[in-house]
Amino acid sequence: EKRGNRGPGRYSFGIASSSNSMLHEPAWVKFLLDNAGTQLRPLLDRIFEGGERPGFTCLGGGGDFVLGGVPSQQELHSDINVAKAQNVLRPPPLLSVNFCVQDLTEMNGPTRIVPGS
């Protein structure tokens, strides 16, 4: 039986650290800043009205992985919870960004996103 902290065969990188983040790992930060950041930053600036100083803060960097051969989908869930008073359309109070580190196929993806969840 494949056990995991996110369901059968599913694990969280963030849970591996007491900070619930992987931003203390140099390779993780390098990927986010050098690779992903160059593509993501212009979009974040448009969403959060960047200007001279960014209108956003990176609060964490976790990540999940799934073992091969896991036959089921992850249960539908919300990665972030926001108080009703802060739940506005623009700019969003929080934004969860996912990066795929392998090709998406019929067997492994894509992530299901439900608007308003």
CB 31 within 8 A of CB 38: no
Residue 45 pLDDT more than 80? yes
> Which residues are CB-neighbours of 23 under 8 A, at least 6 positions away?
29, 32, 58, 60, 61
Count of Cβ atoms closer than 10 Å to residue 53 Cβ: 6
Q: Report whether the peptide linkage leading into residue 54 is cis, meaning its omega lies within 30 degrees of zero.
A: no
Residue 20 pLDDT more than 80? yes
In 3D space, the residue among 48, 58, 66 whose CA is nearest the CA of residue 3 turns out to be: 66
pLDDT digits (tens, 9 = 90+) for 51-88: 666 678 888 888 888 888 888 877 777 777 888 888 78
